[in-house]
Amino acid sequence: MSEKDNIALRAPHDKYTTSPYDHQLFGEGEDSKKKSCYNNPCGKRYLVAFLALLGFANVYALRVNLSVALVAMVTNHTIFRHGHWIEIEPEFSWSPQLQGIILSAFFYGYIITQLPGGVLAIKFGGRNLFGFGVFCTSVLTILIPLAARWNVGILIALRILIGICEGVVYPANHAVWSKWAPPLERSKLTTISASGSYFGTLIAMALSGVLAQVSGWPAIFYVFGSFGIVWTFIWFLIVRNSPSEDHRISQRELEFIQRSLKENGASTKPVTSIPWKSIFTSLPVWAIVVAHFSENWGFYTLLTELPTYLKNRLDFDLGKAGFLAALPYLVMTIVVQGGGQIADCLRIKEVLSTTAVRKLFNSIGFLAQAVCLVIAGYTTDWMVVVVCLTLSVGLGGLAFSGYFVNHLDIAPQYASVLMGISNTVATLPGILSPLLTGAIVQHQTAGEWRIVFYLGGAIYAAGCIFYVIFASGHVQFWATGNGYEEVLVNSDDAEEKEEEEEEINR
């Protein structure tokens, strides 16, 4: 076998070489068909993933509960007290425009702390920043009833502060997995934790209405805020910034994680500087950024604009459809996790390279959602739209095993910074998409709505194409930072790497 037979990462003067699959689980030279996709879920890293899932569930419940509570705050509603249903007059007389400002204020704070959050996660540790973000978000959420009754301006300012605190959570999560996730388990561990965002939305939608009816709308914020505070204490009690800081982890698991990260080319040294120029001129980084923006634009269109279309054009209120309203989030929770399991299995079995897995899963997710948006513009049957919405959102969950995990592949040390960059750009659709839709849809005609759906589908398609061309599953040369150099060990990935470099050089 010649030296041009593969790509791997090896420290100079190191005694071993590894393939892009690292042979982490079964030793170098092991037959890939004998490798198992199953790992012991009792490992400490899986406990970290479960707690991170609950953390995301908390912050997303805290994010969306105001949209449910607002209905009880500004309209007549009934509550159950002393064995009787009592009709309550609305406590506030806010206009629809003011309600929109209150709800959107969150995003103006959220976008500010994405990139700083990535840098702070490197400096102070992902576990610390994750816990701090959830705790502050929870405390501030408990103050919402007080702020609302005091002054609407105070409420808007509070929502901005909540966005600022929550903005650090996603970058911090990637910082956690840069230390805790073996390379061949990145998809499953990252998607387990990220699926909590959809689980939390599902729980908030189900419980917020009940809490408002039984105990009044302030109970929504008190209950979910208290959950977040309790979670924070459990998180700090159990989780550490890295396996080496954890005295409860088994020696076998500690050595496995450290060895696999080293073989993948990830540095275990503290980060002293961030290669900003290399990051912002890296096409694989921009592939992630473009894909993240595209996914969020299309996702906001699917889950915010499509229900409006159903109500105004097809006379079907998805928000009052009970289980159907929550079904997309339930499907997303399941598919995001399932996709991560399948993606890592394909890598462990060496069926596909990491690069191929990321591009394949991303493409399936994006194209399925693009097709759904186009179909939605031509059907007059609400059932077809709801089925299509559920299927597309479900298949879209596979994209989380594409672009969403990819930060950890190409730059493990700086994954939190890359997530901060991509999520900053990806927050823009939450601000721009409703404004653009409002400008396009003036008369609620079918033609106007088709423009909205065509635009969403086109952005999905463009993001898919850009990602397929420029994405990579390899650690980038500027991200090793520890003296690791690329060496050649297997032909297929060598050719793939050479093609990537040629494309970048063009």
- In degrees rounded to 5, what are phi and psi of residue 485? -130, 155
User: Would you list the domain boundaries of the chain?
Assistant: 42-256, 278-501
Neighbours of 183 (CB within 10 A): 26
Token pair belonging to 334? 């399941």
In this prediction, residue 487 carries a pLDDT of 31
Q: What angle do CA 160, 164, 166 make, to 5 degrees?
A: 115
Name residues of the chain where pLDDT drops below 70. 1-40, 76-84, 87-88, 264-269, 302-304, 306-307, 317-324, 481-506
Distance from C-alpha of 124 to C-alpha of 127, rounded to nearest angstrom: 8
DSSP state of 270: P
Is there a common fold for 42-256 and 278-501?
A: yes
- Give CA torsion, residues 307, 309, 310, 315, to 10 deg: 130
In this prediction, residue 22 carries a pLDDT of 39
The model's pLDDT over 225-275, given as tens digits with 9 standing for 90+, comes to: 999 999 999 999 999 999 999 999 999 999 999 898 887 666 556 787 899
Helix (H) or strand (E) holding 86: strand 84-88
- Burial (Cβ within 10 Å: 0-12, 13-18, ≥19) of residue 34: exposed
Q: HEC string of 50-107?
A: HHHHHHHHHHHHHHHHHHHHHHHHHCCEEEEECCEEEEECCCCCCCHHHHHHHHHHHH
Instruction: Tell me the pairing of strands 8-10 and 77-81.
Output: unpaired
Helix (H) or strand (E) holding 114: helix 114-124
According to DSSP, the residues that pair with 80 across neighbouring strands are 85
Nearest to 500, CA basis, from 470, 463, 466: 470
> Which amino acid, residue 494?
A
In this prediction, residue 341 carries a pLDDT of 94
Distances (CA, A) of 421 to 113, 127, 267, 427, 485: 10, 19, 21, 10, 26
Distance from C-alpha of 476 to C-alpha of 319, rounded to nearest angstrom: 45
> Which amino acid, residue 136?
C
Q: What is the CATH number of domain 42-256?
A: 1.20.1250.20
- The residue behind tokens 């561990």 is 189
Distance from C-alpha of 459 to C-alpha of 449, rounded to nearest angstrom: 16
- In degrees rounded to 5, what are phi and psi of residue 19? -85, 175
In this prediction, residue 392 carries a pLDDT of 80
Distance from C-alpha of 18 to C-alpha of 55, rounded to nearest angstrom: 35
Distance from C-alpha of 462 to C-alpha of 460, rounded to nearest angstrom: 6
Give every CB contact of residue 499 below 8 A, 6+ residues apart in sequence.
none
> Which amino acid, residue 316?
F
Token pair belonging to 311? 């109500």
Selected from 1.20.1250.20, 1.20.810.10, 3.40.50.300, 3.90.1170.50, the CATH number assigned to the domain covering 278-501 reads 1.20.1250.20
> Which amino acid, residue 214?
V
SS3 of residue 16 by DSSP? coil
For the chain, report the end-to-end CA distance as a whole number of angstroms.
30
Distance from C-alpha of 78 to C-alpha of 72, rounded to nearest angstrom: 9
Residues 491, 496, 502, 504, CA torsion sign: negative
Distance from C-alpha of 39 to C-alpha of 46, rounded to nearest angstrom: 10
Distances (CA, A) of 72 to 68, 87, 501: 7, 11, 57
Distance from C-alpha of 6 to C-alpha of 489, rounded to nearest angstrom: 3
The model's pLDDT over 127-152, given as tens digits with 9 standing for 90+, comes to: 999 999 999 999 999 999 999 999 99
